[in-house]
């Protein structure tokens, strides 16, 4: 990778400073001129074959630099071929607070689209030349020029609404074209999102999705909290990826603190991570059946998920596995007699899940709904830097458990993971990848349980960690890689915490996949992605 630094330096005429970090194997390039950003990003995503992982904007006006910063974090796009796979490359740009602008890279790196708009909304850093200048996170009625993630903004204040015009949705015009507005309030009890279809009859011409109705300002709320309090917020970013988010936060904290978690705690954490994936995937397969109105599959999925959630409650005291982890280790052990319960539930889940898969595959009316519906072309999945099941069903072989090892995958290199992919990129592909991953999770939990040795559950965290050090942790949630970026202040409290959830990366892919479907198939397409609104909106 030294040649990458050399190449970038040559390309930018030496206007670059190279450091290692945030982690040992990572590289950070501080660009001296912000106008060099598009060229550097093009080099990374082009010849260096990297993909945008996340963008973190920070307010560092009170630091010696007295600026705002944008950090564009890249990871290898093809971790199977490209070594080392577990290396992040950060492009860091300093933004003048008097002229808070950066050149937009969204035209070159489509995955940067939402990140840049979010930085503009929350920190007032304008992406110059962005192809879609509409607001993203802040909705109609929020006063212009008020940026909540600036340190000067008091999160406790109440902001008065200002009169606003209707949101400018992308509109298709022509004979017979009509608009179907759906949501944010839906007929069923689901999270809020607005979908604006432009359709002719039941054929979809365009879909404009608007999210961030559940933006709670959690990244603002967590600032100034102790790491223990912050952990509880991180766990609650969304309902169904508690372990993945909690583990991401814990590993970021532990990285900064420089502590190594005890082996038993690593195993228990990873068992929690896999059990979370299992109950999600099993429930999601049932939900996909609901999208096709296949009642048997819906009920079977709900039944299997219920058994797993009861197991969750037995293990952690919470059906969503909250409160099991803690920075430094785990709060609860797995007792030996409970291992037998886990094994029983896993065995029955395995058998019934295989049966459900067989029922679906042997029912032509169901397969007909799944096949060829909601195709997400591989190229689009790559361009949007999608992750998780979404990416793997489009033939992209990436899994953070293998590519950015965490938990027991890092502590026990002997534990190998079989990554499932599919090529057809339709609803059926996403269903099959989920089923394969659920089986793999069952296998992994058995392997992890077999490795359990008596030992400590927690390690003490140092009182005051190194100030300014950044923690960067990636965990594979049921929906894909969630990337946690954390920095603590000198008092050991959270200074800035940013999460790029898997759903955040995958949402822009849904309207693309919807274009190949008809209007009544959209719920099925949407359920096959099964993305989360809460951890996208935060």
Partner 1 sequence: MEAFEHIAIALAQMILIAACSPLVTGVIQKLKARLQCRSGASVVQPYHDLMKLLRKGTVQSDTASGMFRVLPALVLAATLVAATLVPAVWVPEDRAAAQLPLGDAIVLTGLLALARFLTAIGALDAGGAFGGMGASREMTVGVLVEPVLMLVVFSVALAGGTTDLGRLATHRLAVPSFHAPDLLALLAMLVLLLAETGRIPVDNPDTHLELTMLHEGMLLEHSGPGLACMVLAGHLKQLVMISLVAAIFLPIGLATQLAPYAIALALAAFAAKVLVLSVFLALVESSYAKLRFFRLPQFLGVGFVTGFLALSLRIL
Q: Output 302 or 338, the one with its CB closest to partner 1.
A: 302
Phi (first) and psi of residue 372, to 5 degrees? 75, 5
Q: Which is nearer to partner 1, 143 or 181 (CB)?
A: 181
Answer for the pair 502, 387: CB distance below 8 angstroms, yes or no.
yes
Q: Which is nearer to partner 1, 177 or 339 (CB)?
A: 177
Positions touching partner 1 (CB under 8 A) are 178-182, 186-189, 201-202, 289, 291-296, 298-300, 303, 363, 365-366, 368-369, 373, 518-523
Q: Taking the CB of residue 30, how many other CB atoms lie within 10 A of it?
A: 16
Q: From the CB of 304, what's the least distance to partner 1, in Å?
A: 11
Closest distance of CB 298 from partner 1, Å: 8
Q: In the bound complex, what is the minimum distance in angstroms from residue 374's beta carbon to partner 1?
A: 12
Residues 360, 297 contacting (CB under 8 angstroms): yes
DSSP class of residue 259 equals: -
**34 vs 186, beta carbon nearer partner 1:** 186
Q: What does the alpha-carbon distance between residue 395 and residue 122 come to, in Å, rounded to a whole number?
A: 34
Minimum distance from CB of 346 to partner 1 (Å)? 20
Smallest distance, Å, CB 388 to partner 1? 23
Our CB check for partner 1 shows the closer of 44 and 300 to be 300
Output the DSSP codes for 464-493: SPPTT-EEEEEEEETTEEEEEEEEE-TTSS
- Nearest partner of 280 among 306, 298, 305, 244, judged by Cα: 305
Tokens of 30: 């501080």
Rounded CA gap, 304 and 285, in Å? 10
Look up residue 102 and give its two tokens.
Answer: 């950066």
CB of 426 to partner 1, least distance (A): 13
- Strand bridging mode 325-326 / 470-477: unpaired
d(CA 460, CA 257): 10
- Cα gap 44→5, rounded to integer Å: 10
Question: What SS3 state is found at 470?
Answer: strand
Nearer to partner 1, 339 or 367 (CB): 367
Which residue's CB is nearer to partner 1, number 152 or number 187?
Answer: 187
Query: Reduced to 3 states, what is the DSSP secondary structure of residue 28?
Result: strand
Q: How far is the CB of 132 from partner 1 (least distance, A)?
A: 24
> Least distance to partner 1 from the beta carbon of 134, Å?
22
CB 86 within 8 A of CB 110: no
Of 160, 126, 135, 148, whose CA–CA distance to 218 is shortest? 148
Closest contact distance (angstroms) between CB of 524 and partner 1 is: 8
* Residue number with CB closer to partner 1 (201 or 258): 201
Min separation Cβ 367 and partner 1, Å:
9
* Cβ-based nearer residue to partner 1, 471 or 523: 523
What's the CA gap between 180 and 197, in Å, rounded?
5
CB-nearer residue toward partner 1: 189 or 460: 189
CB atoms < 10 A from the CB of 295, how many? 10
Q: Are 436 and 420 in contact (CB under 8 A)?
A: yes
Question: Of 214, 175, 167, nearest to 193 (Cα)?
Answer: 214
- Asked if residues 209 and 193 have their Cβ atoms less than 8 Å apart, the reply is yes
């Amino acid at each position: 990778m030294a040649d990458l630094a050399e190449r970038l330096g040559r390309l930018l005429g030496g206007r670059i400073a190279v450091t290692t970090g945030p982690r040992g194997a990572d590289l950070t390039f501080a660009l001296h001129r912000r106008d060099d950003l598009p060229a550097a990003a093009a080099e990374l995503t082009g010849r260096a074959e990297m993909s945008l992982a996340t963008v973190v904007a920070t307010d560092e006006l009170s630091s010696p630099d007295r600026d705002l910063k944008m950090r564009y974090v890249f990871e290898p796009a093809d971790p199977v071929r490209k070594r080392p796979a577990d290396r992040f490359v950060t492009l860091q740009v300093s933004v003048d607070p008097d002229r808070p602008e950066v050149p937009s890279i969204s035209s070159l790196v489509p995955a940067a689209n939402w990140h840049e708009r979010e930085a503009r909304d929350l920190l007032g850093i304008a992406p110059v030349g962005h192809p879609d200048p509409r607001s993203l996170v802040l909705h109609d009625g929020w006063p212009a020029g008020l940026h909540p993630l600036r340190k000067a903004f008091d999160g406790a204040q109440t902001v008065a609404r200002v009169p606003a015009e209707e949101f400018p949705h992308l509109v298709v015009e022509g004979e017979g074209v009509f608009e179907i507005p759906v949501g944010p309030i839906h007929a069923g009890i689901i999270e809020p999102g607005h979908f604006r279809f432009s359709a002719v009859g039941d054929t979809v011409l365009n879909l404009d999705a608007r999210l961030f109705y559940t933006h709670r300002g959690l990244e603002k709320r967590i600032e100034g909290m102790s790491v223990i309090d912050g952990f509880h917020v991180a766990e609650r970013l969304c309902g169904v990826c508690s372990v993945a988010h909690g583990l991401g936060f814990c590993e970021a904290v532990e990285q900064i603190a420089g502590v190594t978690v005890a082996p038993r705690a690593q195993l228990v954490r990873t068992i929690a991570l896999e059990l979370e994936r299992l109950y999600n995937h099993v429930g999601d397969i049932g939900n996909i059946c609901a999208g096709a109105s296949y009642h048997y599959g819906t009920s079977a999925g709900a039944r299997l998920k219920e058994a797993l959630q009861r197991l969750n409650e037995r293990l952690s005291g919470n059906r969503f596995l909250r409160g099991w982890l803690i920075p430094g280790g785990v709060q609860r052990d797995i007792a030996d007699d409970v291992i037998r319960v886990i094994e029983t539930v896993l065995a029955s889940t395995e058998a019934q899940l295989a049966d459900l898969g067989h029922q679906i595959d042997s029912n032509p009316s169901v397969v007909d709904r799944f096949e060829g519906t909601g195709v997400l072309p591989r190229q689009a999945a790559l361009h949007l830097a999608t992750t998780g099941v979404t990416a793997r069903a489009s033939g992209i072989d990436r899994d953070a458990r293998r590519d950015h090892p965490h938990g027991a995958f890092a502590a026990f290199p002997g534990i190998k993971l079989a990554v499932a992919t599919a090529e057809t990129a339709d609803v059926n592909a996403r269903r099959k990848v989920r089923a394969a991953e659920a089986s793999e999770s069952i296998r992994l939990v058995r392997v992890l349980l077999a490795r359990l040795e008596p030992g400590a559950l927690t390690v003490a965290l140092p009182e005051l960690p190194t100030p300014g050090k950044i923690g960067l942790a990636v965990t594979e949630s049921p929906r894909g890689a969630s990337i946690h970026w954390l920095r603590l202040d000198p008092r050991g409290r959270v200074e800035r915490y940013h999460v790029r959830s898997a759903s955040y990366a995958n949402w822009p892919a849904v309207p693309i996949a919807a274009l190949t479907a008809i209007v009544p198939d959209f719920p099925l397409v949407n359920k096959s992605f099964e993305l989360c609104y809460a951890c996208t909106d935060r």
